[in-house]
A = this chain, B = another copy of it.
Amino acid sequence: MTGLLRGEPQVISAGVGLLADAVELQAARVTRVDWSPPMAGTADDLATVLRDPRRAAANELAVRRMFGARAQLVDVLPARDALGLRPGEFLHAGPPITWQRASGPLRGALLGAAVFEGIAADPETAAGLAERGEFGLSPCHDHDAVGPMAGLVSPSMWVFELADPATGRRCYCTLNEGLGKVLRYGAYSPEVIERLRWMASVLGPLLQAAVRRHGPVDVTAILAQMVQMGDEAHNRNRTGTLMLLRDLLPSLIESGKPSADVAAAVAFIGGNDHFFLNLAMPACKIALDAARDIPGSTMVVAMARNGTDFGMQVSGTGSRWFTAPANTPEGLFLGGYGPEDANPDIGDSAITETAGLGGFAMAAAPAIARLVGGTVASALATTRRMYEITLAEHPLLQVPALDFRGLPAGIDVALVLRTGILPQINTGMAGRVAGTGQVGAGLVTPPAEIFPAALLALAEAAGSLVRSRPDARRS
């Protein structure tokens, strides 16, 4: 004991600051550790999962596979050919859902898609068909696809085909329609349907001709450049869109298509800063799909919302969705819209956050603060906070403002529960009422309860392995 009194005291404090404050008032130096107990009720499962002998190697493999994937745009073609969709079959964002539980924007998008496909003459007729269960509805994620917001894919829509040249893994996504009154935000007025028709008859075939003439476009390389030029690839895709346009231009021009069509397509893409989102998303999914189904891995491989439920999939628990009611984003609103107009969180676009982009990359895109709310300082702080819940730093996606540190990637369910920090998502906000369109953009997190549910499943899977080493805990 006398040793303690002889020298300068060495004080380390964790948890609430009362004691540290008192010691500091007596002029001693205190090292404060930012610690809080794990999420309530999760301590036992967390102990089991953290003792899983497979975990470290499994997560290392998951990260290696995620970072090893490359995504190239290899073709553009109708969803019926790419995904085998038949008339009356529709894909949607997020985990599985029925018409009865679907939110306004998902319903609106479905009605619009049915009219676009010529299955129903008008939205009212389409609603009747939907009500009677005559449409096939399944998640994009179950069909190697992703879709922003409502994420509606119907057979006649054209989709980008992305592939990883090393593994042949493929992922699909529709072409981005722009902002405002668009199908993915639940709008279905005649102008929306008209635009979809032009995209299917002019834009899609043109892009197909250009991509086939050009050869594969390296989407991963464009993503790496974007985060050095102020994009975070979820709500800011300006430079990505510009680079795509630049890369495809010579082939577009020499496609032999009417120059008025080429000019219109180029003006459409150039006028839509979000066009590249629909390439960023499938590129992220290709990387995360490579990390699926690794026993013992606690890494999140998908976060997706259907406007009613938020769903998450984890590498070590296969294709099981952990779901809970989606939160409603908080942020900035367009025109006269306000919080009461916003639908809960919707879209597969949280695949970008799952891969280290979007909300995780806010530090790379400080201007995003003006779109979704917050300050430049909060954008930097958000990215820094995400390092607490991720397994690795992305070797290709580096942030100049953080001295070229790699983005935080690979969300670890165990780290989320250990720290209580939830993944930060930034997102567009759809109007609650079908037919409205976009009402704003903001910030949101997954519902916290999906993480204990996933942890329980991971603990159950690890259970026998951990119990077979009864001394592990004490050692």
Q: Which of B242, B270, B367 contacts A239 (CB 8 A)?
A: B242
CB of A149 within 8 Å of the partner chain: no
CB of A254 within 8 Å of the partner chain: yes
Question: CB-CB contacts of A228-263 with B at 8 A, as 1s and 0s?
Answer: 111100000011001101110111011000011011
Q: Which secondary structure dominates where chain A touches chain B?
A: helix
Contacts of A401 on B, CB cut-off 8 Å?
Answer: 366, 376, 401
The docked-state distance in angstroms from the alpha carbon of A454 to that of B245 is: 48
Q: Which of B230, B266, B375, B377 contacts A250 (CB 8 A)?
A: B266
CB of A44 within 8 Å of the partner chain: no
Contacts of A367 on B, CB cut-off 8 Å?
Answer: 228, 400
Q: Are A242 and B253 in contact (CB under 8 A)?
A: no
Within A249-291, the residues touching B (CB, 8 Å) are 249-251, 253-254, 259-260, 262-264, 266-267, 270
Q: Which of B262, B266, B400 contacts A230 (CB 8 A)?
A: B400
CB of A340 within 8 Å of the partner chain: no
- Check A228/B230 contact, CB under 8 A, given A270-B246, A403-B377: yes
Contacts of A249 on B, CB cut-off 8 Å?
Answer: 245, 249, 263, 266-267, 270
CB of A404 within 8 Å of the partner chain: yes
Contacts of A262 on B, CB cut-off 8 Å?
Answer: 253
CB of A364, distance to nearest CB on chain B (Å): 10
Contacts of A400 on B, CB cut-off 8 Å?
Answer: 230, 366-367, 376
Contacts of A375 on B, CB cut-off 8 Å?
Answer: 403
Question: CB-CB contacts of A357-368 with B at 8 A, as 1s and 0s?
Answer: 000000000110
Within A128-146, the residues touching B (CB, 8 Å) are none
Tell me which of A251, A260, A264, A367 has the highest count of chain B C-beta atoms within 10 A of its own C-beta.
A367
Tell me which of A253, A260, A267, A377 has the highest count of chain B C-beta atoms within 10 A of its own C-beta.
A253
Q: Are B254 and A259 in contact (CB under 8 A)?
A: yes
5 example contacts (A-B, Cβ-Cβ < 8 A) are as follows A242-B242, A245-B245, A246-B266, A375-B403, A401-B401
Given contacts A249-B270, A254-B260, A366-B401, 17 further A-B contacts (CB under 8 A): A228-B230, A229-B229, A230-B400, A239-B239, A239-B242, A242-B242, A242-B243, A242-B245, A242-B246, A249-B266, A250-B263, A250-B264, A250-B267, A251-B263, A366-B400, A376-B403, A401-B401
